[in-house]
């Protein structure tokens, strides 16, 4: 896309929510000169959000490790020797205590993650109790439990679940190189069940897994052409964990990461774009550029499931430095 075309697009006025993005158009956004891309992303961001507000979520692993799936990036897969111990499902009281602590530290949403291919119905009973209890604290609730059947999605909705996280991870073409124990279609199916149950969708991906730019284009195009855009779009930078097949992957240029955030912002104007895993190794400057590119959510707290995340003090300092405040639920 040339700068002239970009200017022409601007003259059209407020950005429309579109579900018919072509890969060519998404490619054109990635190819824009960096200042033009950031300007466009900022413009779209300001049409729909206060650019000084950041939504804060906290993520807790309620069932860690021992997962039968083979996601090449994940230290919780039972197939890789990563030193992550398999635990049983966490007790309800522990989850509630963690949620209370997250709330007093400023989190408005509490996400509960379990390392399952899909939950068994009896496990779902326990998760539903957790959802009800966390909701009772006045927080938004989110869960990521693997693939769901339609009745399971409906049960979670009845328990008060606000969001379900289920990432598309990457482009449909690259997916098979990262995961072989399920297919893209499985992911889309769970997303459909979640939507049909009336639960908000949290769905994004991971970059830096050895994919090409075309795959990053394909990932954003897949997300932006869902029948409804996910309300939350987490964009993760791969955390290279020793023992996983991606441990020695070359690191992705941070500017390419910022470009991915900006393109996601433009393609999904009303979604909250979350700067997710990988922040621990990101400079403050890169994170600041991500916020300028339209990221408006972070995970807060020292741990993201099993990988490190910046401490709350570091985040508070950065937000203060940038004049950012926590978004009210």
Residue 75 CB neighbour total at 10 angstroms: 23
Q: Is 190 among the residues that bind ligand SF4 (CB under 6 A)?
A: no
Nearer to ligand SF4, 69 or 98 (CB): 69
Residue closer to ligand SF4 by CB (options 63, 279) is 63
Residues 6+ away with beta carbon under 8 Å from 95: 60, 62, 112, 130, 133, 134
Tell me the closest approach of the beta carbon of residue 104 to ligand SF4, in angstroms.
Answer: 28
Q: Identify which range of 36-44, 66-74, 90-98, 251-259 contacts ligand SF4 by CB under 6 A.
A: 66-74
Least distance to ligand SF4, CB of residue 179, Å: 7
Bridge partners, 273 (sequence order)? 233
Residue count (the chain): 329
Query: x/- string (CB under 6 A) for ligand SF4, residues 141-170?
Result: -----x------------------------
Taking CB under 6 A as the rule, which mask of x and - marks residues 73-112 in contact with ligand SF4? -x-xx-----------------------------------
Bridge pairing between strands 297-299 and 303-304: unpaired
Choose the stretch contacting ligand SF4; rule: CB under 6 A; options: 41-49, 71-79, 254-262, 308-316.
71-79
Q: What Cα–Cα distance (Å) separates residue 167 from each residue in 10, 188, 220?
A: 31, 9, 12
Binding flag, residue 69, ligand SF4 (CB under 6 A): yes
Residue among 115 and 237 whose Cβ is closer to ligand SF4: 115
Tokens standing for residue 45: 């961001």
Distance separating alpha carbons of residues 70 and 246, to the nearest angstrom: 12
Question: Which phi and psi angles does 209 have, rounded to 5°?
Answer: -95, 15
Per CB under 6 A, the segment of 18-26, 64-72, 126-134, 192-200 that binds ligand SF4 is 64-72
CB of 143 to ligand SF4, least distance (A): 12
Query: Taking CB under 6 A as the rule, does residue 204 contact ligand SF4?
Result: no
The 238-277 site mask, x for binding ligand SF4 (CB under 6 A), equals ----------------------------------------
How many of the other CB atoms lie within 10 Å of CB of 212? 11
Q: What residues are annotated to the active site?
A: 67, 71, 74, 111, 142, 202, 274
Residues 6+ apart with CB under 8 A from 219: 168, 169, 170, 171, 205, 207, 211
Closest distance of CB 190 from ligand SF4, Å: 11
Of 73 and 300, which CB lies nearer to ligand SF4 in the complex structure? 73
Could you give the CA distance from residue 206 to residue 323 in angstroms, rounded to a whole number?
28
The piece of 72-80, 195-203, 270-278, 306-314 that touches ligand SF4 (CB under 6 A) is 72-80
In the bound complex, what is the minimum distance in angstroms from residue 129's beta carbon to ligand SF4? 21
Q: Does 67 interact with ligand SF4 (rule: CB under 6 A)?
A: yes
Smaller CB separation from ligand SF4, 69 or 215: 69
- Considering the rule CB under 6 A, would residue 115 count as an interface residue with ligand SF4? yes
Does 234 participate in binding ligand SF4 (rule CB under 6 A)?
no
| Contacts for 290 with CB less than 8 Å, ≥ 6 apart | 257, 258, 261, 275, 282
CB nearer to ligand SF4: pick between 1 and 84: 84
Chain residues in the site for ligand SF4 (CB under 6 A): 67, 69, 71, 74, 76-77, 115, 146
């Amino acid at each position: 896309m040339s700068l002239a075309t970009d200017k022409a697009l601007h003259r059209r006025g407020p950005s429309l929510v579109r579900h018919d993005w072509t890969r060519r158009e998404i490619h054109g956004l990635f190819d824009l000169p960096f200042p033009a891309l950031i300007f466009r992303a900022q413009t779209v961001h300001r049409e729909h959000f206060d650019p000084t507000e950041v939504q804060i979520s906290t993520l807790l692993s309620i069932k860690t490790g021992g997962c039968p799936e083979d996601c090449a990036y994940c230290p919780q897969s039972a197939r890789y020797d990563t030193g992550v111990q398999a635990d049983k499902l966490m007790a309800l009281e522990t989850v509630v205590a963690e949620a209370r602590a997250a709330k007093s530290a400023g989190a408005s949403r509490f996400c509960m993650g379990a390392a399952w291919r899909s939950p068994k119905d009896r496990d779902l009973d326990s998760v539903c109790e957790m959802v009800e209890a966390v909701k009772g604290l006045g927080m938004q609730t989110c869960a990521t439990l693997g693939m769901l059947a339609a009745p399971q999605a409906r049960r979670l909705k009845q328990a008060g679940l606000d969001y379900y996280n289920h990432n598309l991870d990457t482009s449909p073409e690259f997916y098979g190189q990262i995961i072989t124990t399920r297919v893209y279609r499985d992911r889309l199916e769970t997303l459909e069940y979640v939507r049909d149950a009336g639960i908000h969708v949290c769905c994004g991906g991971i970059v830096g897994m050895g994919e090409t730019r075309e795959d990053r284009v394909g990932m954003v195009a897949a997300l932006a052409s869902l029948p409804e855009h996910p309300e939350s779009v987490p964009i993760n930078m791969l955390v290279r964990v020793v023992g996983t097949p991606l441990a020695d992957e070359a690191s992705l240029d941070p500017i390419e990461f910022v470009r991915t955030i900006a393109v996601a912002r433009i393609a999904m104007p009303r979604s909250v774009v979350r700067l997710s895993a990988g922040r621990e190794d990101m400079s403050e400057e890169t994170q600041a550029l991500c916020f300028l590119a339209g990221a408006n959510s972070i995970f807060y707290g020292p741990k993201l499931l099993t990988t490190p995340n910046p401490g709350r003090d570091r985040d508070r300092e950065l937000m203060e430095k940038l004049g950012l405040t926590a978004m009210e639920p």
